[in-house]
Chains A and B, each alone.
Chain A
Amino acid sequence: MDIRLDGIGHSYDDFEVMRDISLDISSGQIVCIVGPSGCGKSTLLRFIGGLERPNSGRVLQLGEPPEGCLNPLTYIFQDFALLPWRSVWGNILLVLEDHGIRRAAAKEIISDVLARTKLSDFAKALPKQLSGGMKQRVAIARALAVNPAVMLMDEPLSALDSQTRELLMDDLVELWSRKPFTAVYVTHNLAEAVRLGHRVVVLSRRPGKIREVVEIEKPLAEREYGDADLDKAQKYLWRLMREEARAADSELLHG
């Protein structure tokens, strides 16, 4: 299943946040969206998953989601969004219960996703007992449980420290290599973008428009920490963004 953004534009009152964004997200690819703060990247992600409605333009779903897909467009949030009163197991069960999956069927799915995210030993733990990195892995496991067609990731690593971030990036690459998934990955961190993105979409500052789409050819599994090609790509991206970021930084909020 592919996603097409067709001329998305949006403003709050008379405050324009994005203008005419058109983009195709094809199956099996990770598309990273980067841009200076306030360019509407997270808002764009909420449009794609239907949590908010744009003023103009449409988000289109091309083709049918694959068989066995419970929730085609599935988010992974920056602050994990785990229910603190449910255990790891219960948090994943939450998203299965409404689809009528219980007992043995649920057990099978949950055990599988916990194994894939290396959390099998923590099924009974409450979120407060977990580190940030583990919490995000639970959120990833929860997303995997509904077998999404497209994962919508909103700065998923931004609340974590840099070492945990490296580890989780490795985990994501490993998950993708084993079974390629489609993802839209919003981040302000260029290192994450060049590490995980097949394509990196650079947005301009407000009103957000697509400035450039950068393809990164190198296969995900071959990308490593401190890779020279990635450094080059990252420098290129930074040059694109630098002026925008500076200008965005000196603007008044909602001025």
Chain B
Amino acid sequence: MDKAPKTVIFRGGGFAPKSRRWVGVLVFVLLILFVEWGTRSGWISSLSLPRPSDVLETFIQLYNSGLLFKHLGPSLSRLAVGAIIGASVGISVGILIGLFSYVRSGLVPLVAAIFPIPKIALLPLFIIWFGIGEGSKYALIAFGTFTPTVVATYGAVDNVDRTLIRMGQSFGLSWWSIVRKIVLPGAMPGILSGLRISLAIAIILLVAAEMLGAEYGIGAYILEAGSLYDLERLFAGVVVLSLLGVLISAVIGIAERRLLGWRT
């Protein structure tokens, strides 16, 4: 064995994605530049995609005319009221399903039955029940956020470490204390990641809710632009919804860092 020593080849590493801050922004910028270049040089026809700079111009017009906030105001209030009702009822029902056998046996099949219903299909029904005004819009958004929140919440309650609950019982904590101090904080990671999904669904349903009986609202604006085949305005509206989604996701991210700093 008198050969020259060989370095052992490194074969570990990888499989541990980290967040690289500006890469996400870079992807957006490159994509937009690509479309801009394509539409300017003519190989993307203006019928198939609007020019990003035109969309921006439309957006600026929208902002300057003050119409942006006229549309955004009602939309945000519909989103807020609907999502708050849906999420809070969803979390409460999810916790009850997670804690009580009868509630679980009774409601899990029901939730499974209403989860796959496209809530948009029920809009006429909601209009009959809650009127053409704001009521039906709140109901549609609330109903849409309710089901995913329930499923995420009871899953999260199921995943709370049982040894912690046994510990609580062994120290003689009351039932209510165990729920409040052990089950709820233990389920919080799952509830928050469920909210990410249900709030995104709430934004999707916002457009559906504004299909009927809405003069103002981002959804109404998009639908009107769509029916006139005005792609610049359609995209300006879509961008607003996207930004709203990014914003909500960021807010949940902050909440996670605040509330879940204890996680390893």
Contact = CB atoms under 8 A, between A and B. Distances in A.
Given A84-B263, A126-B262, A94 B164 contact: no
B24 interface: no
Contacts of B167: 75, 77, 81
Interface string B34-68: 00000000000000000000000000000000000
Contacts of A94: 171, 173, 181
A218 to B, nearest CB: 32
B182 interface: yes
Interface string B157-168: 000000110110
B172 interface: yes
B77 interface: no
A227 to B, nearest CB: 33
Interface in B65-119: none
Given A85-B262, A126-B262, A95 B171 contact: yes
A98 B169 contact: no
Contacts of A79: 163
Contacts of A84: 262-264
A77 B163 contact: yes
B164 A95 contact: no
A79 B186 CA distance: 16
B170 to A, nearest CB: 5
Interface in A36-84: 49, 51, 70-71, 73-75, 77, 79, 81, 83-84
Chain B residues touching A, majority SS? helix
B180 to A, nearest CB: 10
Interface in B234-264: 261-264
B174 interface: yes
A139 to B, nearest CB: 9
A98 B172 contact: yes
Q: What band does the interface of chain B fall in when counting residues whose beta carbon is under 8 Å from A? A: 10 to 19
Contacts of A77: 163, 166-167
Contacts of B177: 97-98
Contact of B170 (A51, A86, A97): A51
Interface string A201-242: 000000000000000000000000000000000000000000
A252 B171 CA distance: 35
B264 A128 contact: yes
Contacts, number: 53
A71 B169 CA distance: 11
A83 B172 contact: no
Nearest to A143: B171
B190 interface: no
A126 B186 CA distance: 15
B173 A74 contact: no
B155 interface: no
A83 B182 contact: yes
B65 to A, nearest CB: 48
B164 A81 contact: yes
A74 B264 contact: no
A222 B123 CA distance: 80
A150 interface: no
A17 B181 CA distance: 34
A146 interface: yes
A71 B173 CA distance: 10
A98 B170 CA distance: 12
26 contacts: A49-B170, A70-B172, A71-B172, A73-B170, A75-B170, A77-B166, A77-B167, A79-B163, A83-B181, A83-B185, A84-B264, A85-B186, A85-B262, A95-B171, A95-B173, A97-B177, A97-B181, A98-B173, A98-B174, A98-B177, A99-B172, A126-B262, A127-B262, A128-B263, A142-B171, A146-B171
Interface of B: 163-164, 166-167, 169-174, 177, 181-182, 185-186, 261-264
